[in-house]
């Protein structure tokens, strides 16, 4: 069951990394307001706002794409681990059956 815990840790780390990246991208574009002697042109402010909004939307799209790619990779890893676990359990059952057969043979040989 350690594999499941590792998968969960990887997921949590991936989500944490995604959130940290989003935070860094959001703060990297932050520019403090400067004191101005005159009132800014509303049309210029609107254009700047639209430009920033477009940049943020592009960043969000990139983050969503990266998130989807990581999720797909994690799903594939989980499937591979599940297959390995199933194979290991089957091998364990086979070995347990062989052990039981060998123990019976030992008892028969000792009795003979």
The answer, as to whether pTM is greater than 0.75, is no
pLDDT at 10: 73
Per the domain annotation, does 92 fall within a domain? yes
Per the domain annotation, does 61 fall within a domain? yes
pLDDT, tens digit, for every residue of 43-89? 889 999 999 999 999 999 999 999 999 999 999 999 999 999 999 99
Per the domain annotation, does 94 fall within a domain? yes
Q: For the chain, what percent of residues have pLDDT higher than 90?
A: 58
Per the domain annotation, does 104 fall within a domain? yes
Count other Cβ atoms within 10 Å, centred on residue 80: 10
Q: CA torsion sign, 55 to 59 to 60 to 64?
A: positive
For residue 36, name the pLDDT band (cuts at 50, 70, 90). Answer: low
44's tokens? 């210029």
Report the number of distinct structural domains present in the chain: 1
Per the domain annotation, does 82 fall within a domain? yes
Per the domain annotation, does 78 fall within a domain? yes
Residue span of the structural domain in which 63 resides: 52-112
Per the domain annotation, does 5 fall within a domain? no
pLDDT at 31: 63
> Cα–Cα distance between 105 and 94 in angstroms, integer?
17
> Cα–Cα distance between 77 and 63 in angstroms, integer?
21
């Amino acid at each position: 069951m350690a594999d499941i815990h590792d998968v969960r840790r990887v997921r949590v780390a991936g989500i944490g990394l995604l959130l940290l990246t989003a935070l860094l991208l959001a703060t990297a574009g932050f520019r403090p307001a400067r004191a101005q002697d005159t009132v800014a042109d509303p049309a210029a402010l609107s254009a700047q706002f639209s430009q920033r909004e477009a940049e943020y939307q592009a960043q969000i799209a990139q983050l969503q794409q990266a998130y989807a790619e990581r999720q797909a990779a994690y799903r594939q890893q989980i499937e591979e681990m599940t297959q390995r676990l199933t194979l290991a359990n089957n091998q364990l059952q086979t070995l347990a059956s062989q052990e039981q057969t060998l123990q019976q043979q030992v008892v028969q040989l000792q009795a003979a």
